[in-house]
Amino acid sequence: MRTFSVALKCRTLVLLAVAAMFFAACHTADKEVVDSGKWAADSLQLSTESGDNSDFVAITDVVPDVILEIRYYGTYNFVGTRIDGYEQPIALMTKQAADSLRAVSDDLIKQGYRLKIYDAYRPQMGVDHFVRWGKDLNDTLMKTYFYPNETKDSLFIKDYIATHSSHSRGSTVDLTLFDMRTEKEVDMGGTFDWFGRESHPDCGGNPTTGKWRSNDTLTAQQFTNRMILRKAMLRHGFKPYDCEWWHFTLRNEPYPDTYFTFPVKSFNVERF
């Protein structure tokens, strides 16, 4: 009986260690800066803010084949309202990232797909909006649609919300695939901005090997669809994020320590 108890305690400790590693991976995978902790403070000391948009372009000017569904300009997002700084339903990126995304698009068009973009450059004021929303525990308007299995007070703890985002550095994009044959968005087995395990690239299989896992929540086709997008993005210079299958950052991003503040709107209106 004692031997069984010791074994059970050891197994519990192993599981707790694995869980800790899981959340640590989400915390550091894409240099997202959370709302607490020494690591966040040290990182912010090395970063700057800028309102200069001179190295940014509208993605559609470089990649005319993309489809835009800018969720934070509308109300169908986890907050349920238009996000601060999204003044027009357009997508902006640094020139370098947009050029690489054009290569991704050309690659996928040959396979019968177009890119559909949910978000790209995100101004710091938009991130600040997320943080304010996250601290208001009474506002659960969109819980049913985006985080039904999470309590709102856990969103900071699990790093779903951060005080700084790689999106504000200008070379990150949230996107999916659109099937030109069926004229429908491809089934990825989970929706954009879903707060839960289903959003992780390793849900359903091993993203490194591309091997599907039959005892998980994704079908083989859904996992394959995710891998089509992931492989194309990696081939053309982007790196994935361990917690979101739709999120990719240019590996050699030009502004790794700068968080931009200008709003999302056409440069024809005003150039900063």
**Fold adopted by 31-260:** Muramoyl-pentapeptide Carboxypeptidase; domain 2 (3.30.1380)
pLDDT band per the 50, 70, 90 thresholds, residue 35: very low
Distance from chain centroid for Cα 181? 27
Question: Looking at residues 147-151, what average pLDDT do you find?
Answer: 96
pLDDT value at 24 more than 90: no
Give the pLDDT score at 155: 93
Active site residue 244: yes
Distance from chain centroid for Cα 91? 14
The backbone torsions φ and ψ at residue 93, rounded to the nearest 5 degrees and listed phi first, read -150, 165
Out of 32, 69, 244, 253, which one is annotated catalytic? Answer: 244
- Lowest-confidence range among 44-48, 58-62, 77-81? 44-48
- The pTM assigned to this predicted structure is 0.85
pLDDT value at 67 more than 70: yes
Name the percent of the chain lying above pLDDT 70: 81
